[in-house]
Structures are given as C-alpha cells and as structure tokens.
Amino acid sequence: MKKAATTRYPSPIVSSVLSDEEKIEAISAHFEGIMTTLGLDLTDASLVQTPRRVAEMYVKEVFSGLDSKNFPDVGLFEEDHVSEAGHHSLVVTKCGFTSFCEHHFVPMMGVAFVAYIPRGKLLGLSKIHRIVRYFAKRPQLQERLTSQIADSLSHILASSDVAVSIQAQHLCVIARGVHDEESQTTTSYFGGAFTHDAAKREEFFQAIQRLQK
C-alpha cells in the first residue's frame, strides 16, 4: 500500500532514475566539493572518508523516505481477533522521530501523537512508528510531516477519523538564527470525527497529556 497524495503541503520530490550506489557516488563528489571550498584538507585521515560517509547517511538513513520502495508494509487486523478487552474507542500512539528541516538541512527532533478510531480494523502499533519514520526520513516541513502521516493513515484505514499532533525542536532555530534553545513548535491535524466531535478531540488531548508524563 502506497502513501496517499496530499494537496495541503505538496511534496517537492522528483523521482530519480539513479540507483542508491549511483546517488552515493554523486553526493560524495558534491560533498567533497563543499568541504574543499570551505578550506578543509581532504587528505587528513579524519576527513578522508567524510564525503562518502555523509552520502551513505543521506541515501540509506536520514533521507531514505524519499524512495517510495522504503514505504513500510502495513497490514490491518480484524479488531475481533486481537481484542479480548472489548471495543477500542480510540487508539493513540506516541512516536519519537528525527527529521531534517528542508530549509537548512539540519535535524528537527520531536514526538508525534497519532490517533485513530478503529472501525473494526486495527493497525499494529509498530506500523504507526514505521509510517512516522518513513515520512520523517526526508528533508521536511513539520506541517507537511503532520499532514502526510495523517493522509497516509486515513488512506490505509479507509477512514478520515485520524488525528496527529507533533511537537518538535528545530536545530535551525536552536543552533543558528535566533539561537533559542527553548523553542518548540506544535502542529496538529484533525480529520473526520475529530473535527466535529469535541469529546473525541478532548479524549485525544487527555491521552497526549498522559503520554507526556
């Protein structure tokens, strides 16, 4: 199952025909240029592997979510088969993540609270973490990350009853620019029942408070 298209914050992604190894070689050469331009000695034993190391980190780790083949396999369970405790009114999962700000290419770190109302189907909890991680592993905007997680989950569950709230710290605000170490940003998405049922929204906020302790 692939990600749903989002129109609120369109993805500035152009598909690439290069293999991972071809991307790593090209990025290595570019990063070597950046380091040389900055006046670094690429023959230094400590720096000689850095261009390749950065390129591998970009392609295989921190930006692996740019490649749709890395979207996780997500299966649904029938609620009856997994729940002995009865019907779930709301499932809320807390997922830590690290992403990269697309304006400065430095990390943003935070937590995503992801909620849905099961309509006879449940998603394995680790799957929600994998979806959050997939969309986080790109150069991102916090607002787009929030809506992409919500859209993807709505698509998989075939339900608009999804809410996502993200709190994050951006290193571009902490380590440069205004240098505000206390800065945090919250973004939220409410779909379906969460938009018109105040009690459901309140249940979500209360779950976030419990999960924050």
Choices 15-23, 103-111, 124-132, 156-164; region in contact with Zn ion by CB under 5 A:
103-111
- Indicate if 172 belongs to the active site: yes
- Residue 176 as a binder of Zn ion (CB under 5 A): the answer is no
Choices 18-26, 96-104, 123-131, 203-211; region in contact with Zn ion by CB under 5 A:
96-104
Closest by CA to 68, choosing from 14, 8, 9, is 14
- Residue 112 as a binder of Zn ion (CB under 5 A): the answer is no
Q: What is the x/- site pattern for Zn ion, positions 37-76, by CB under 5 A?
A: ----------------------------------------
- Indicate if 129 belongs to the active site: no
DSSP state of 64: G
- Indicate if 78 belongs to the active site: no
DSSP state of 42: T
When the beta carbons of 103 and 119 are compared against Zn ion, the nearer one is 103
Do residues 14 and 21 touch, judged by C-beta distance below 8 A?
A: no
129's tokens: 């973490």
Burial of 6 (0-12, 13-18, 19+ CB in 10 A): middle
Burial of 205 (0-12, 13-18, 19+ CB in 10 A): middle
Size, binding site for Zn ion by CB under 5 A = 4
- Residue 103 as a binder of Zn ion (CB under 5 A): the answer is yes
> Taking the complex as a whole, how short is the minimal distance between the CB of residue 69 and Zn ion, in angstroms?
28
- Indicate if 95 belongs to the active site: no
What are residue 163's phi and psi, to 5 degrees?
-135, 145
Angle at which helices 125-136 and 142-157 pack, to 10 degrees?
140
Task: Fill in the amino acid letter for 178.
Answer: V
Choices 34-42, 143-151, 169-177, 193-201; region in contact with Zn ion by CB under 5 A:
169-177
- Indicate if 87 belongs to the active site: no
Give the binding site for Zn ion (CB under 5 A): 101, 103-104, 172
